[in-house]
Chains A and B, each alone.
Chain A
């Protein structure tokens, strides 16, 4: 990827990243199986999730990642977020990153909404004072005043998603990663999200959106990358990549 004047800094650089998962047919995780077949390797398929993927996302870009199920979108996002380690290749993220991965940021169902906000905001890097200041804004954005002292297990999936999203955007991030943010949540909340994205865009923040929905990607993103079986099928401006009739499986 050739960069422009050299003045612009890329927010995310993914260089030649590969990732494979060993998928055992039947996972051998008990001692007995280890004792019975100590030398036998686990019967495993190696599933290549990502195959030499490179991409550069510039600062301030709204970048979309698309592809059918199992094409490696989420794996790529998790590698960028530092949750998975790549088998080979390198990832550079410039600035503070706030991930919103697969509906929720690891909430604990037995704790109240309030406690979960405290835990997850802290894990995302908010200090005590910052959290105190922003706690109300988080609850307000999620529209959960009445339910905040209830246990998370009594929340609907839409409520959990709203809370997770509200926390993720209160972090002082430079890069925001969003995985399937439109999968849950009613139209009204989606409108609110889109309005927030516009604010971030104005503030020059970088946003990476993983989505199935070509309409959302077309309306929000500047550039898009399409993954297919772990390899980059297409990358470029949204108009160019999504102009032709969409493949049926996207």
Chain B
């Protein structure tokens, strides 16, 4: 039996709105510092956050677009690929940063008491800032392709929110596990590579046989990616804009959405259960 009733730390007598505001400020300050740190000491600084996905895009485009001729199936292959790479970059960046966040901030954990969850959330928010910069580049490409914006593009916002919930869930699971088991880092690096090729980032999802296609759409990442492509690249061929709704039926999206919420719930539960031990075990 352990019970700590610490009446201090602004816990009692302080309205929850004030506490929520203070926690948001903590989040803002830490996320800002992380963003600064990420490119600290590099000459090109923030430019790297755009250079990296664009170089990967260039290589992928030359190999798969030109060499393997995927370019010929659709005039929108390039934009489609760029959307996929930028979105996967966000996924991979946010989960990796979130995973290592607790271990990287161990001195802070050992000296101060504050809501532990701020640390992984701040890491994923930092990755979100990088993603926002990249999204501007994608918007430039979309404009260059002379695609007229539609009202239903507003649906991208809830889709990204769903993806973020999924990402945060994964980050919470990985951050908690990494405290106990350091080679989770290697495992996740490998898993990310598998996920990259298992998701329809490079190839059109229509290339997959039906059973594999259904399997792919269990992943919230693939569902969000294809939904965004279907919204933005509406003039593209139907085979390239297959969504979870097309593959799994009318309510098909509920499966990946349930997966995202489930992973988030698991992450939150695991994190909360273990957070009181982080300071001494990290």
Chain A residues packing against B (C-beta within 8 Å): 21, 29-32, 34, 78-79, 81-97, 99, 101-102, 104-108, 110-111, 115, 118-120, 122-125, 127-128, 174-175
CB contact between B2 and one of A89, A106, A175 (< 8 Å): that residue: A89
**How many residues of chain B get a CB closer than 8 Å to chain A's CBs?**
38
User: Whole-angstrom distance between the alpha carbons of A163 and B41 in the complex?
Assistant: 24
B9 at the binding interface (Cβ < 8 Å): yes
- CB<8 Å pairs between A and B, sample of 8: A21-B280, A29-B180, A30-B183, A90-B5, A101-B112, A108-B33, A111-B40, A123-B26
B26 lies within 8 A of A81 (CB): no
CB contact between B7 and one of A32, A94, A101 (< 8 Å): that residue: A94
B112 lies within 8 A of A96 (CB): no
B41, closest chain A residue (CB): A110
B10 at the binding interface (Cβ < 8 Å): yes
Segment touching A, from B103-111, B164-172, B212-220: B103-111
User: Whole-angstrom distance between the alpha carbons of A215 and B108 in the complex?
Assistant: 31
Which residues of chain B come closer than 8 Å to A107, judged between CB atoms? 107
B36 lies within 8 A of A115 (CB): yes
CB contact between A125 and one of B4, B22, B187, B276 (< 8 Å): that residue: B22
Interface string of B1-35 (1 = CB under 8 A from A): 11111111110000000000010011001100100
Which residues of chain B come closer than 8 Å to A104, judged between CB atoms? 107, 111
B191 at the binding interface (Cβ < 8 Å): no
Which residues of chain B come closer than 8 Å to A94, judged between CB atoms? 7-8
B37 lies within 8 A of A110 (CB): yes
B273 at the binding interface (Cβ < 8 Å): no
Which residues of chain B come closer than 8 Å to A111, judged between CB atoms? 33, 36-37, 40
Which residues of chain B come closer than 8 Å to A21, judged between CB atoms? 280
Which residues of chain B come closer than 8 Å to A79, judged between CB atoms? 4
B108, closest chain A residue (CB): A106
A125 lies within 8 A of B9 (CB): yes
A29 lies within 8 A of B182 (CB): yes
B25 lies within 8 A of A92 (CB): no
User: Whole-angstrom distance between the alpha carbons of A106 and B113 in the complex?
Assistant: 11
B111 lies within 8 A of A105 (CB): yes
User: Whole-angstrom distance between the alpha carbons of A94 and B6 in the complex?
Assistant: 7
A91, closest chain B residue (CB): B4
User: Whole-angstrom distance between the alpha carbons of A188 and B2 in the complex?
Assistant: 43
A122 lies within 8 A of B29 (CB): yes
B112, closest chain A residue (CB): A123
B3 lies within 8 A of A99 (CB): no
B14 CB → nearest A CB, Å: 9
Q: Which of B172-188 contact A (CB under 8 A)?
A: 180-183, 187
B70 at the binding interface (Cβ < 8 Å): no
B113 lies within 8 A of A119 (CB): no
B277 at the binding interface (Cβ < 8 Å): yes
A85 lies within 8 A of B2 (CB): yes
A101 lies within 8 A of B25 (CB): no
A31 lies within 8 A of B113 (CB): no
Which residues of chain A come closer than 8 Å to B113, judged between CB atoms? 81-83, 99
B107 lies within 8 A of A127 (CB): no
A30 CB → nearest B CB, Å: 5
Which residues of chain B come closer than 8 Å to A30, judged between CB atoms? 181-183
B114 at the binding interface (Cβ < 8 Å): yes
Task: From known contacts A29-B182, A89-B2, A125-B9, infer whether A83 and B36 are also in contact, taking CB-CB under 8 Å.
Answer: no
B29 lies within 8 A of A86 (CB): no
7 nearest CB pairs, A to B: A106-B108, A82-B113, A106-B111, A93-B8, A85-B276, A97-B8, A106-B107
A115 lies within 8 A of B8 (CB): no
B5 lies within 8 A of A91 (CB): yes
Task: From known contacts A97-B8, A106-B110, infer whether A31 and B25 are also in contact, taking CB-CB under 8 Å.
Answer: no
B279 at the binding interface (Cβ < 8 Å): yes
Given A82-B6, A94-B8, A122-B22, 13 extra CB contacts under 8 A:
A29-B183, A31-B181, A78-B110, A82-B113, A86-B2, A87-B2, A90-B3, A91-B4, A97-B6, A101-B112, A102-B111, A106-B108, A123-B108
A82, closest chain B residue (CB): B113
B5 lies within 8 A of A92 (CB): yes
Which residues of chain B come closer than 8 Å to A124, judged between CB atoms? 112
